[in-house]
Structure formats: structure tokens, C-alpha cells
């Protein structure tokens, strides 16, 4: 866990950082990314819906609603600096 993710420590408790290549369809995961024009990082939850041939991830919210469409996570976006986390299974 990076120092910029410390503010999200409670949300990331029990999760371990993974590579985006370790995600599979239907995986539940958390991800952090840089905030837009602010210091710090956002911590969000998603479910993998699709992974295309280029490795681009399409995810949706935990409780899909009509107003929340599936969204793409562009891992090549250096401004967002995505980090992915999965729950540790005991």
C-alpha cells in the first residue's frame, strides 16, 4: 500500500494490492486513483464486467442502477494512476 493510499486504510483493510492483469470477469475489487485537481486519492468499489483484448477493464458499481452505467478504467492514464486491490481470502 502506498503512502497516498493511507487515507483509505480502513476501506482497504483486508485487501491486497494486485496488478490489473490479476482481475477476472465478475471479480469484486477496490481501486484507488488520483483525485481531479485535488491532493489525495479516491477509493472506489467495482465489479469487473468485461476485459477486452487490449486489457481495458469495464466495471460497474456494486448496486447497478440505470443512472450508473458501466465505466471503463483506462489503466494507461498516467494522470489517474490506478491501483487495484482484491479481498484476501482466508
pTM listed for this prediction: 0.81
Helix (H, G, I), strand (E, B) or coil at 4: helix
Q: Which domain holds residue 66?
A: 3-87
What's the number of domains the chain is made of?
Answer: 1
Strand locations in the chain (E): 15-18, 28-34, 41-51, 57-60, 71-73, 83-87
How confident is the model at residue 7, as a pLDDT?
A: 67
Residues 71-84 pLDDT 10s:
899 888 888 889 99
- Decide if pLDDT at 86 tops 90: yes
- Decide if pLDDT at 6 tops 70: no
Question: Mean pLDDT throughout 22-49?
Answer: 90
Amino acid at each position: 500500500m502506498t503512502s497516498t493510499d493511507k487515507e483509505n486504510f480502513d476501506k482497504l483493510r483486508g485487501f491486497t494490492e494486485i496488478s490489473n492483469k490479476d482481475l477476472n470477469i465478475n471479480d469484486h475489487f477496490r481501486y484507488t486513483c488520483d483525485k481531479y485537481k485535488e491532493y489525495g486519492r479516491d477509493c472506489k468499489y467495482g465489479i469487473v464486467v468485461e476485459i477486452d483484448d487490449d486489457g481495458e477493464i469495464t466495471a460497474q458499481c456494486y448496486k447497478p442502477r440505470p443512472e450508473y452505467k458501466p465505466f471503463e478504467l483506462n489503466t494507461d492514464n498516467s494522470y489517474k494512476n490506478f491501483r487495484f486491490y482484491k479481498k484476501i481470502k482466508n
